[in-house]
């Protein structure tokens, strides 16, 4: 995926968090870029987000989880993030939808759930991905958050950061 598309996903999630009265910043520290994409403060806790804009999900019906940067020959995505929350942005017709999951739960999911396919050199040629059918991962693991109320989102956020 291109850097520009990734920034679109980050801005989408940033805008959504602002709607819920959570100010957040995009991680501009290049040395820590693999750690997380966005950071916000919530109840005196630093909450970090890994954001992926899966521009092919609507077309293919698959959700891609990045695991490796094959150009740099090093782990990336879920294998290196230090974020608390994984935010997956998926287009649905003309609307951007935002789905979130706790990073630790996503790591457990990919360890126990075999992807239906693995793809190498995807996106702009630098990503190795695990592909899951959207209905096998979005409902069971991820929660859609762009269409819920502020109170429901904050309750969800409490559950995600309150438990390790």
Helix, strand, or coil (residue 86): strand
Backbone angles phi, psi at 107, to 5 degrees: -60, -40
What domains can you pick out in the chain, each with its CATH number? 3-162 (3.40.1350.10)
pLDDT of residue 114: 96
Beta strands in 4-79 (DSSP E): 24-26, 38-42, 45-53, 62-69, 74-75
With 0.85 as the threshold, say if the pTM is over it: yes
* Residue in 45, 49, 46 with CA at minimum distance from that of residue 15: 49
Q: How far apart are CA 25 and CA 148, in angstroms?
A: 22
pLDDT of residue 1: 45
- Would you give per-residue pLDDT tens digits along the chain (164 residues)? 455 666 789 999 999 999 999 999 999 887 777 799 999 999 999 999 999 999 899 999 999 999 999 998 999 999 999 999 999 999 998 899 999 999 999 999 999 999 999 999 987 788 899 999 999 999 899 999 999 999 999 999 999 988 54
DSSP 163: -
* Secondary structure percentages of the chain, helix, strand, coil, to 5: 35, 35, 30
Backbone angles phi, psi at 52, to 5 degrees: -125, 125
């Amino acid at each position: 995926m291109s850097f520009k598309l990734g920034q679109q996903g980050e801005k989408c999630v940033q805008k959504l968090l602002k709607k819920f009265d959570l100010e957040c910043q995009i991680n501009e520290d290049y040395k820590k870029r693999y750690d997380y994409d966005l950071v916000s403060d919530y109840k005196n806790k630093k909450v970090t987000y890994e954001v992926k804009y899966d521009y092919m999900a609507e077309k293919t019906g698959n959700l891609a989880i990045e695991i490796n940067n094959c150009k740099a020959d090093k782990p990336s995505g879920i294998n290196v993030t230090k974020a608390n929350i994984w935010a997956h942005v998926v287009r649905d017709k003309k609307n951007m939808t935002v789905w979130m999951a706790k990073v630790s739960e996503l790591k457990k999911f990919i360890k126990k759930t075999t992807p239906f396919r693995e793809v190498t050199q995807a996106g702009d040629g630098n990503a190795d991905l695990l592909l899951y059918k959207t209905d096998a991962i979005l409902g069971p693991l991820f929660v859609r958050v762009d269409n819920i109320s502020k109170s429901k989102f904050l309750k969800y956020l409490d559950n995600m950061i309150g438990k390790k």
